[in-house]
Structure 1
Amino acid sequence: MSDFSDATKVTASALQAQAGRLRLLSENIANADTPGYRRKTAPFESAAAGGQDLPSVTLGRTKLDRSDLARVHDPGHPLAGPDGFYESSNVDLLIEIADAREAQRSYEANLKMFEQTREMRRGLFDLLRR
């Protein structure tokens, strides 16, 4: 039974990591038009689950993208300087949507693996009951 539990734990950790990634991507998309907003990123990290040699995935520490903020010319904007420019966000919606699609597909693949492990465990129990 240990192999089923291990597979479930690894898959659950991947689901949590992808859910966290989707949360960050959602924040980035929601704040794409917020002046001064910096894109948030977080790397995936490998960790041992429960002090065992069992690999798991976690979402690393959130970092702010330090690339230059976009300068927008809008003299009527309340944050515009004397030259008529203000700093917008550094969020590129195309990149965020592509990353969100990738995270969603990875989440779905991990969920499918979780469901298959559960079905295999149920099948084993059915065999053992006979």
Structure 2
Amino acid sequence: MELLPALAISASGLTAERLRLDIIANNLANINTTRTPRGGPYRRQVPVFAEKLQEALKPAGAQFKGAGVEVAAIVEDNTPPRRVYDPSHPDAGPDGYVALPNINVVNEMVDMITATRAYEANVTVLNAAKAMTLKALEIGR
């Protein structure tokens, strides 16, 4: 395995997971936001990852190989907003219910843990590639 592509793949994973953590933090920060510029409560955002492919440098029968991951889009979760009965809330409807964001703290924490573990795995790959490179330089002396 070549080291530079491995580093690029891990770096793309680090970037994607960092963005995922930023989106999770944004979701948690807006857990009580009942008004947005578009109207209605804040809607949970979710990143969509896609595999980056690269054509191998072969003249005949070119194949595609993995080149990392990228964030293809950031989409809104379409689950309906939570409805809570609170007639004293300024955004309560005539029935006394308030539409709150469709964010579940437990789901966000699970997503945060998986993003953190994926980030750590990519850091481990980067450190292993660095150690192999240093060892190869020592051997070459």
Q: 1:48 aligns with which of 53, 63, 67?
A: 53
Return 5+ residue gaps in structure 1 as ranges: none
What amino acid is aligned across from residue 44 of structure 1 in structure 2? F
Which is strand-richer, 1 or 2?
2
Deviation at 1:10, TM superposition (A): 0.7
Aligned counterpart, 2:130: 118
Aligned counterpart, 2:86: 74
Distance 1:43 1:63 in 2: 7
Return 5+ residue gaps in structure 2 as ranges: 35-40, 57-64
Distance 2:71 2:105 in 1: 22
Percent identity for Structure 1 against Structure 2:
31
1:4 aligns with 2:3: yes
Structure 1 runs of 4+ off > 3 angstroms? 51-54
Distance 1:40 1:10 in 2: 25
Per-residue deviation, residues 39-78 of structure 1 (Å, max 9, x unmatched)? 00112100136x6544210112000011110111111111
Distance 2:123 2:2 in 1: 17
Q: 1:59 aligns with which of 56, 71, 76?
A: 71
Distance 1:54 1:33 in 2: 40
Distance 1:15 1:104 in 2: 10
Deviation at 1:85, TM superposition (A): 1.1
Q: 1:96 aligns with which of 103, 108, 114?
A: 108
Which is helix-richer, 1 or 2?
1
1:86 aligns with 2:85: no
Alpha-carbon RMSD: 1.4
Matched residues, number: 127
Per-residue deviation, residues 54-111 of structure 1 (Å, max 9, x unmatched)? 4210112000011110111111111112211121000000000001001101100110
Distance 2:106 2:95 in 1: 29
TM-score by length of 1: 0.91
TM-score by length of 2: 0.84
- The 5 Å alignment of 1:2-41 reads 3-35=2-34, 36-41=41-46
What amino acid is aligned across from residue 50 of structure 2 in structure 1? E
